[in-house]
Amino acid sequence: MKRLIISLLSLVGLCVSCNDNDVDGVSFDSSVVKPAEDFTDPRDNNTYHCVQIGNQIWMAENLRYQIPGNSIAGCYTWDEEQVDASNATVDDETYKRIATEVANDPKYNGWPQYGNKRVTGTQMIMSMIMMFDYGYTQADVDEYLTYYPDYYEALTAELDKVRDPIIIAETHFKAVEKENGGYVAKYGFLYSFDGAKQAVPEGWRLPSDEDWLKLEQALGLNASESLRNEAWRGSGLATLLSEGGQSGFNAKRAGGNIYVIKTKEYNYVNKDDSWYYWTSTSEKNTDGADIAIIRMSAKYSDKVWRGTSPVTTGYRDVLYSVRCVKDAK
């Protein structure tokens, strides 16, 4: 690809040189930064510190809204792979456990009478376990239990909850989040491009490239310098925007899931070294692939990269952090 993009993003040791046309540094005026009211997301009660920079209000924390469906919907924690729940099943032990719980549930009052006799929960459990013991499959047990339609309907409803792709994905997320030590609480979620657009709360927007240009220029980046593309721009700009910087933007070096040129794979890389943020501005590459304009910073440079990134290759989505913006009133 003519613009394939993002090759710099995976090279942590890359040496950055200054172009002769660079404007040396940003001219920062602290008066452009003002406190802004915290925002509590009514969807999940997460509260975000905010900051006004110029005529924009930005969240000063990475978005951590958990989209229902998690990885299925483009919302990931660190090292999480997408769940394939297209053929979700339960094992025999889980089936027997849930079937036993339904059979013994007191709200069903011992189950109704079938034919000339009353079939108790205990009898259904014994019949079911015997079938499993004799090598029958879940499909065989299902067929047997259809003779007891009330029980079978209640059992199917409970099994469907376990088979539900959204529940499976959330369970998987919780397990990975525990393994990685609580990434989301510190860094927010990593989102696919489509996930990022879904995750933004009402009253806010996923910032466009133009929104980022306004932010950078408000912090003192020369307008012509800011418009450079596929380039590192503005000495000192990354320092202002990164965690602890004077802008109050407080960008976290959350890493991302990006294309690694050496291995030609998509991997989680650069946690605590780089930050990557989606913009809402997308376009087509020369070969027709979807790409989006992003911003990134790395520890080896005090500039900010403005360039394009693949959205996906079909193998998996690229994943970056999200900040939200709105106009100051």
* pLDDT of amino acid 7: 40
> What is the maximal distance between C-alpha atoms in the chain?
94
Whether the CB-CB separation of 188 and 254 falls below 8 Å is answered with yes
* pLDDT of amino acid 93: 85
- DSSP notation for 241-283: HBTT-TTS--B----EEEEETTTTEEEEE-TTTEEEEEEEEEE
Q: Which two structure tokens, joined as six digits, stand for 182?
A: 């609580």
- SS percent in the chain: helix, strand, coil, step 5: 35, 25, 45
**Is the model's pTM score more than 0.85?**
no
d(CA 155, CA 160): 9
- Find the helix or strand (DSSP H, E) in which 224 lies: helix 223-226
Q: Which two structure tokens, joined as six digits, stand for 158?
A: 């409970």
Domain residue limits, the chain: 7-65+189-327, 92-163
Inter-CA distances, 66 with 36, 170, 174, Å:
24, 9, 11
Q: What angle do CA 170, 174, 176 make, to 5 degrees?
A: 115
Q: Residues near 30 by Cβ (< 8 Å), separated by ≥ 6? A: 246
- Find the helix or strand (DSSP H, E) in which 98 lies: helix 92-103
d(CA 270, CA 10): 8
Q: What are phi and psi of 310, to 5 degrees?
A: -60, 145
Inter-CA distances, 174 with 19, 82, 323, 328, Å:
46, 13, 23, 36
* pLDDT of amino acid 147: 80
* pLDDT of amino acid 97: 87
Please give the chain's pLDDT, 329 residues, in tens.
434 334 434 433 333 333 334 445 899 999 999 999 999 999 999 999 999 999 999 999 999 999 999 999 999 999 999 887 666 677 788 888 888 888 888 887 777 655 555 666 677 778 888 888 888 888 888 888 888 888 888 888 888 877 788 888 888 899 999 999 999 999 999 999 999 999 999 999 999 999 999 999 999 999 999 999 999 999 999 999 999 999 999 999 999 998 665 665 668 999 999 999 999 999 988 888 899 999 999 999 999 999 999 998 677 899 999 999 999 98
Q: Residues near 321 by Cβ (< 8 Å), separated by ≥ 6? A: 62, 63, 187, 188, 189, 190, 191, 252, 254, 256, 275, 276, 277, 278
